[in-house]
Structure 1
Amino acid sequence: MQPALLPGDNIIVNKLAFGGRLFNLTAAAENKPIHIRRMPGFQKIKRNDVLVFNFPYPSRWDSIAFDLMKYYVKRCVALPGDTFSIVNAHYYVKGCSDALGNMESQDNLLTLLNEGTHKEISLKGYPHDSLVDWDIRNFGPLYVPAKGSVVIMNQMNAILYKQLIEYEQNMKITISGDTVFLNNYPIKWYQFRQNYYFMAGDKTRDSRDSRYWGLLPEEFIVGKAALIWKSVRPGTSKCEWRRLLKSIE
């Protein structure tokens, strides 16, 4: 998340802004199935909010799972119901003219890609399927599901939303030709049970974000990154006083 956050930063997370989560901590710690409920919040998630969340792929890239002890912090660049694209390494939402994410970092990534000096950068993007030729230069368009929204279950959508549907249903998706099966039953459409978000790190050339692993379920969101309450220079015990109580924007 550089430059918004730097190594050594300690942050305060507002868990009440979007509503605190209620779930069985013991079951979560033991990696047992849990049901997450959310209390009413006093604000809604907006594009460009910096969020803290449980990383949805802690052990396998093909299966969403909840890990109580694995947290990421990234910037939300697309909301439920948005159609998100990356064009020449820059982020866009259909119908939205706002700058999304760190624009300078996106410019720098495009320069590296154009110059061919990106050997250490992984280019292949989600969903990592030979039928979907997306990468971090050009990605999408991808519809970000909102709770209650419906998508046609063709081969393309089955590839894009396989992990989400399997997570919601605890069943397996398989594809045979143009027919999509959920636990061996053919389905022609699917209605999503929750909201999803597209998350991106500000350090665009080196961020393990939704460009690589896909969409974030709403119930994995812990809260909004609010303040840097302390910052210590890496490898030392020296406090970076200039970052004390700095707002995270």
Structure 2
Amino acid sequence: MQFKNIFRKKVNANKPKKSALREWGDALLFALIASTIVRGIIFSAYAIPSGSMEGSLLIGDHLFVDKLAYGARMPITPVTVPFTEPTVYGVKTYWDGIELPYYRLPGYTEPKKGDCVVFNKPEELETPIDQRTTLIKRCQATPGDELRIINSQVYINGKPAANAPRSLMEYVVQTDGKDINQLLLTDLSIQTVQQLSLDQYVMLVPLDKLKEFKSYSNIKSVEPVLVPATQYDSTIFPHSDHFKWNLDNFGPLVMPKKGMTVALNDSTLTLYRMAIESHEGNKVETNGKDILINGSKADTYTFKMNYYWMMGDNRHNSLDSRFWGYVPEDHIIGKAAVTWLSTDSSANNMLNKVRWNRFFRLIK
């Protein structure tokens, strides 16, 4: 007895067979679509170009960024050249003729204090959000938190915040006049910034090596380099002499939170105008003592988004929220997950250029 295979796919004898070129084209198209989805929604690779996160992350570290953690942000400018920077040799690789509203898929967590977060730079207001410069910093404050910095120590809601173990600070180091062993400095990842005299230096010291460094007999004192609280710095947010803040002494400032309402006056408008006007799309004007939002007098404002405070671990060598303010939720790309490659451009041979001990290293 013979049985017919009823599940056999019928072949259309009249259907022309795909050419090898067509099959390769279909495969490449599928690969492009699949990789674009993976890169756009699941994870992306980024490189560390500056020292603002040393010693947690090094120049030359290449990272995988988990976009699912906080929820994948859908493209705002969907027409772009895949796998390119926003500009190449001064030419834009995207078309801003179409800009979609901000939308984010649900994530499995939210940005938390201590997370290394990848985001777009908030102050580049003339550029679409998802095409702005990409930065990585550590989250210091979350929506609704009161942040204050006293002598470079961050305080959240009145309590000292945990510092990253390998965060860097500048110190004035006083010795007994004897030379400091350079191998010791290398082993402790300490960098000499400046020699002030025969027995005095400015050095970058990792927090987790500070106690050991102080214990050596030829080290007489190690004092942090701090900007006095009385010294106003106009480059520091909110760039107003109503708030005489600086790099090491800042605040208090409450992070805007979705649904949070603030009373509007000269002080709160100075602190929150960028959020109200630039990030949430309102027209803000003043008429004498009156504050007008979208043409109507307003005594209060209710925020539409959550905002975060981001700072580099290399505290005196980081352009961060202290300079351009809080980061809106629609600027956040994802959570830095793992270092998959690290290269040292200053190494003198190819073998030493690769930092093998940083391969597939979890980011903390």
Interval of TM-score (by shorter of Structure 1 and Structure 2): 0.7 to 0.9
Alignment of 1:118-157 (within 5 A): 124-157=235-268
Within the candidate set 328, 338, 342, 1:227 is matched to 338
1:191 correspondence with 2:302:
yes
- Scaled by the length of structure 1, what TM-score is found? 0.86
2:146 and 2:157 in contact (8 A); partners too: yes
RMSD of the TM alignment (CA)?
Answer: 2.6
Larger radius of gyration: 2
Q: Aligned runs of 1:1-249 on 2, under 5 Å? A: 1-26=53-78, 29-31=94-96, 33-58=99-124, 66-68=129-131, 70-101=133-164, 105-106=168-169, 108=171, 111-113=224-226, 124-235=235-346, 237=350, 238-249=353-364
Tell me if structure 2 keeps the 8 A contact 1:56–1:220: yes
Aligned partner letter, 1:66: I
| 3-state SS of paired residue (1:3) | coil
The 1-side partners of 2:139 and 2:76 are apart by: 27
- 1:204-239 per-position Cα deviation (integer Å, ceiling 9, x unaligned): 001010001000001111110011000111156521
Distance 1:247-1:159 versus aligned 2 partners, 3 A rule: same
Identical amino acids, percent of aligned pairs: 34
Contact 2:167/2:313 (<8 A) preserved: no
More divergent stretch after superposition (134-143 vs 74-83): 134-143
CA contact (8 A) 1:57 1:65 kept: no
* Pairwise CA distance, 1:175: 3.1
Distance 1:137 1:123 in 2: 13
Partners of 1:17 and 1:41 within 8 A in 2: yes
Gaps of 5+ in 1: 116-121
Shift of 1:30: 2.7
Distance 1:80 1:107, change over 3 A: farther
Structure 2: stretches of 5+ with no match in the other structure: 1-52, 81-93, 172-203, 205-222
Which stretch has the larger CA shift, 79-88 or 104-113?
A: 104-113
- For the residue of structure 2 that corresponds to 1:234, the secondary structure is coil
Change (3 A) 1:190 1:17: same
The AA in structure 2 aligned to 1:197 is Y
Farther off after superposition, 98-107 or 66-75: 98-107
Aligned-partner Cα distance in 2 for 1:4–1:221: 20
CA distance, structure 2, for counterparts of residue 30 and residue 90 of structure 1? 43
- Which segment is superposed worse, 173-182 or 2-11? 173-182
Q: Distance in 2 between matches of 1:247 and 1:82?
A: 27
Contact preservation (8 Å) 1:55, 1:67: no
Q: Which has the higher contact order (CA 8 A, sep 6+)?
A: 1
CA contact (8 A) 2:337 2:362 kept: yes
- Tell me how far 1:59 sits from its aligned partner: 5.8
Separation in structure 2 between the aligned mates of residue 91 and residue 170 of structure 1, nearest angstrom:
30
Output one character per residue of 1:185-222: Cα deviation in whole Å (capped at 9) or x when no partner. Answer: 22100000010000000010010100010000011111
1 CA distance for matches of 2:329 and 2:238? 19
Q: Which moved more, 1:19-28 or 1:6-15?
A: 19-28
CA contact (8 A) 2:117 2:336 kept: yes
Which amino acid in 2 is paired with 1:19?
G
Give the Cα–Cα distance (whole angstroms) in 1 for the partners of residues 167 and 55 of structure 2. 11
* Distance in 1 (alpha carbons) for counterparts of 2:244 and 2:285: 20
Aligned residue in 2 for 1:118? none
The one-character-per-residue Cα deviations of 1:90-112 (angstroms, maximum 9, x if unpaired) are 11101545414568535749822
The CA distance in 2 between the partners of 1:243 and 1:90, in whole Å, is 28
Larger mean Cα displacement after TM superposition, 227-236 or 147-156: 227-236
